[in-house]
Amino acid sequence: MADKSKEALANNCPNCGGPLRYDPTIEKLKCDFCDSEFTVEEVEKFYESHKSEAQAEYAKDEVVSYGCSSCGAELIADANTAVIRCPYCGNNTIATAQFAAGIKPDYVVPFKFTKQQAEAKYADYYKGRFLLPKAFLTDSNVEEIQGVYVPFWLFNGSSFVRGTYNTHDEHEDNNFKYLEHYEEERKGTMRFENVPADASKRMADDLMDTIEPYDFKQMKPFAMSYLPGFLAERFDVDEKDDKNRATGRIEQTTKDEVRKTLKHNNLDRSDEDVTVQFTKTNYALLPVWLLTTRYNNAEWTFAMNGQTGEFTGNLPINGAKFGGVLTILFAAIVLIAHFLFDSMGVGFVVAAIVTAITGFVMWSGMKPVSHATTAGEYISMPLKLSYERESFIRTEKIRKEKKEGD
pLDDT of residue 11: 62
* Residue 109, SS3 per DSSP: coil
**97-121 mean pLDDT:** 79
* Band of pLDDT at residue 89, cut at 50, 70 and 90: low
Name the DSSP letter for residue 202: S
| CA-to-CA separations, 60 to 56, 112, 339, in angstroms, rounded | 9, 31, 83
* Band of pLDDT at residue 402, cut at 50, 70 and 90: low
Q: Where are the alpha helices (DSSP H) in 267-384?
A: 319-341, 344-366
Count of alpha carbons within 13 angstroms of residue 301, beta-carbon side = 18
pLDDT (tens digit, 9 = 90+) per residue, 201-246? 888 999 999 999 999 999 999 887 888 778 888 888 999 999 999 9
* Band of pLDDT at residue 86, cut at 50, 70 and 90: low
Q: Is the pLDDT of residue 141 over 70?
A: no
pLDDT of residue 296: 81
Low-confidence winner among 9-23, 51-65, 232-246, 357-371 (lowest mean pLDDT): 51-65
pLDDT (tens digit, 9 = 90+) per residue, 295-307? 888 888 999 999 9
The answer to whether 275 and 393 have CB atoms below 8 angstroms apart is: no
Q: Is the pLDDT of residue 256 over 70?
A: yes
pLDDT of residue 178: 92
Strands 74-78 and 379-399: unpaired
- In this prediction, what percent of the chain has a pLDDT beyond 90? 44
Q: Is the pLDDT of residue 8 over 60?
A: no
**Helix, strand, coil content of the chain in percent (nearest 5):** 30, 35, 30
| CA-to-CA separations, 163 to 182, 216, 291, in angstroms, rounded | 14, 31, 45
Residue 309 neighbours by CB distance under 10 Å: 14
The answer to whether 275 and 80 have CB atoms below 8 angstroms apart is: no
Mean pLDDT of the chain: 82
Nearest-CA neighbor of 246 among 195, 189, 192, 190?
195
- Helices and strands per DSSP (H, E), number in the chain: 9, 15
DSSP output for 257-290: HHHTT-SSSEEEEEEEEEEEEEEEEEEEEEEEEE
Instruction: Say which residue, 175 or 259, is predicted with more confidence.
Output: 259
Low-confidence winner among 189-193, 256-260, 333-337 (lowest mean pLDDT): 333-337
* Residue 44, SS3 per DSSP: helix
DSSP output for 66-91: EEETTT--EEEEETT----S-TTT--
Nearest-CA neighbor of 150 among 193, 101, 188, 205?
205
pLDDT of residue 46: 73
**249-272 mean pLDDT:** 96
Region class of 197: left (phi > 0), else alpha (psi between -120 and 50), else beta: beta
Sequence length of the chain is: 406
pLDDT of residue 77: 57
Residue 9 neighbours by CB distance under 10 Å: 26
Q: What angle do CA 23, 27, 31 make, to 5 degrees?
A: 40
pLDDT (tens digit, 9 = 90+) per residue, 37-56? 888 888 777 766 655 454 44
By CB atoms closer than 10 A (0-12, 13-18, 19+), residue 398 is exposed
Q: What angle do CA 154, 156, 162 make, to 5 degrees?
A: 130
Q: Is the pLDDT of residue 167 over 80?
A: yes
* Band of pLDDT at residue 7, cut at 50, 70 and 90: very low
pLDDT of residue 60: 38
- Alpha carbons 144 and 90: distance in angstroms, whole number: 8
The answer to whether 20 and 228 have CB atoms below 8 angstroms apart is: yes
Instruction: Say which residue, 88 or 227, is predicted with more confidence.
Output: 227
- Alpha carbons 121 and 301: distance in angstroms, whole number: 14
- In this prediction, what percent of the chain has a pLDDT beyond 70? 79
Find residue 186's DSSP bridge partners. 163, 388
Name the DSSP letter for residue 350: H
Between the two ends of the chain, the Cα-to-Cα distance in Å is: 85
pTM over 0.95: no
Q: What angle do CA 339, 343, 346 make, to 5 degrees?
A: 105
The answer to whether 190 and 276 have CB atoms below 8 angstroms apart is: no
Q: Is the pLDDT of residue 130 over 60?
A: yes
By CB atoms closer than 10 A (0-12, 13-18, 19+), residue 251 is buried
